[in-house]
Structure 1
Amino acid sequence: MSQFNPKTFKAVLLLIALLFAIAGFSQDKNAFTLQIDSFYAKIKEQKNPQIIDARSPEEFAINHINGAVNFNLETKNYIQYVAKLDKSKPVFIYSIGAGRSGQLANELLKNGFSDVHDLDGGIAAWIGGGKPFYSNTKNKLSQAEYQKIVTSNNTVLVDIGSRYCGACKKVKPVLETIRAQYGEDVKIVEIDLEDNPQIIADLKTVKVFPTLILYRKGKIFFKKDGGQDLKKDVDLALASN
């Protein structure tokens, strides 16, 4: 019979504790983060849903989910906004991604709200999923004009994002590198939420900002959610048949 090893036993206990901690964190995160279809379905179940847009007032003024109110943890009268919410009913929160909305959701959970839902992908997922929204801007590009660009050029790389999206800003220098390398062989089109929300809605394929779509002869050849390894992935896509 093998002897009891205190060091081995202690290591096993630490490993078990770590696994439980990781599992607990995952459960906490998944408890309030929802994909677009579930988020939308739960909103439709409510007669007067409590929807919070956790972006800045400037972003909210340009576009937002119908019926949403606008505040976040940085809002001057934050406590007053929270006081107007009904803790017995679900609260639905979104931002441009999950940063500001996730922080607000966590704070509400800490303060007695038990049914809080954060939209995975934020406003990109909502509008990109073709859900109804308010916009005070006229689209600079029509769907017909967009399709003409896609079909009249052999290879088109479309960058979809927002001027308020930090990850989207990191894509811009990569696009310039691609433009310099491929020249007229690749047509690059930049679609911003603030200028062309209806294009994003009509595509019904955007789940997050940034989203990159590569067209060949009018058809989607490659799609990428997020800008990580963008140059590498575009090079591989263009090199394939």
Structure 2
Amino acid sequence: MENKKFKKRVTALVLLFAIVGFAQNQNPFTLQIDAFYAKIKEQKKPQLIDARSTEEFAINHIDGAVNFNLQTENYAKYAAQLDKTKPVFIYSIGAGRSGQLAKELLKNGFLEVHDLEGGIAAWIGSGKPFYTNSKSKLTLTEYKKIIAENKAVLVDIGSRYCGACKKVKPVLEAIRAENGTNLKIVEIDLEDNPKVIADLKTVKIFPTLILYQNGKIVFKKDGLGDLKKDVDAALAH
């Protein structure tokens, strides 16, 4: 009898530690754009947070979002205005600032927190509604004209606030130097050309590189990786 009681106590303790461990190690549920958008639409007043800087937020953001992150002055005041029992939706450029904020909220008792995979790039790049205070310098018609008038075009799509995007620039210069007039390189930043990014409906992450040959896409790369090697290989074919 005593042995059975002891086993029950051990089982209960193991279960308790498992539950506690799960609660302490839970991670934000990262969602792809369609699932993220669908869950937001389910909420009457979605708790949507833009975890970028105030400068980035002022240029463009998702309609209805509030702006703060872990470095924001009076961060606790902003967090206290959220309902811990309802879902919270967070995005930034990638998963850096939004992921950090999501984990902090979960650690402080929020029950459901979702981070947007691909951030603002995925949202605008899929054509979802957004606010911007700038008019695109490049239209979709002008973009298509560039593609049609050049045999080979390499398009770099990103943001001036994207760390990975900055690493693309020297690679582009090397590619430009090697190919000269045989390759047209077009650089499109979110801050200057949000509308054309939205109209393309192909961007999932920053940076995105697209290579056209004779008007057709022959290579597309989401993210950085070994960019020079990949572009050289695509051009060779």
TM-score, structure 1 normalization? 0.87
Which of these residues, 227, 230, 234, is aligned with residue 233 of structure 1?
230
TM-superposed deviation, 1:28: 4.0
Which of these residues, 17, 38, 56, is aligned with residue 53 of structure 2?
56
Partner of 1:184: 181
* 1:221 and 2:205 aligned: no
* 1:159 and 2:156 aligned: yes
Alpha-carbon distance in 1 for matches of 2:58, 2:217: 32
Q: Percent sequence identity over matched residues?
A: 77
Secondary structure at the counterpart of residue 127 of structure 2: coil
Which runs of 5 or more structure 2 residues have no equivalent in the other structure?
Answer: 1-21
* 1:117 and 2:114 aligned: yes
The CA RMSD over aligned residues, in Å, is 1.3
- Answer yes or no: is the 8 Å Cα contact 2:210–2:221 preserved in 1: yes
Alpha-carbon distance in 1 for matches of 2:193, 2:218: 22
Which of these residues, 42, 46, 60, is aligned with residue 45 of structure 1?
42
* 1:130 and 2:122 aligned: no
Deviations 1:66-93 (A, max 9, x none): 0000000000010110111011111000
TM-score, structure 2 normalization? 0.89
- Answer yes or no: is the 8 Å Cα contact 2:140–2:200 preserved in 1: no
Partner of 1:80: 77
Which runs of 5 or more structure 1 residues have no equivalent in the other structure?
Answer: 1-23
Which of these residues, 140, 143, 151, is aligned with residue 140 of structure 2?
143
Alpha-carbon distance in 2 for matches of 1:217, 1:44: 40
Partner of 1:34: 31
Alpha-carbon distance in 2 for matches of 1:220, 1:201: 18
TM-superposed deviation, 1:218: 1.4
Deviations 1:183-235 (A, max 9, x none): 01110000000000111111111110000000111111110011211110011
* 1:211 and 2:228 aligned: no
Structure 1's consecutive aligned runs of 4 or more residues displaced over 3 angstroms after TM superposition are: none
Partner of 1:103: 100
Return the letter of the residue paired with 2:113: V
Partner of 1:201: 198
Alpha-carbon distance in 1 for matches of 2:197, 2:26: 31
Alpha-carbon distance in 2 for matches of 1:50, 1:167: 28
Partner of 2:62: 65
Alpha-carbon distance in 1 for matches of 2:184, 2:137: 18
Change (3 A) 1:186 1:28: farther
Secondary structure at the counterpart of residue 101 of structure 1: helix
Q: Number of matched residues?
A: 215
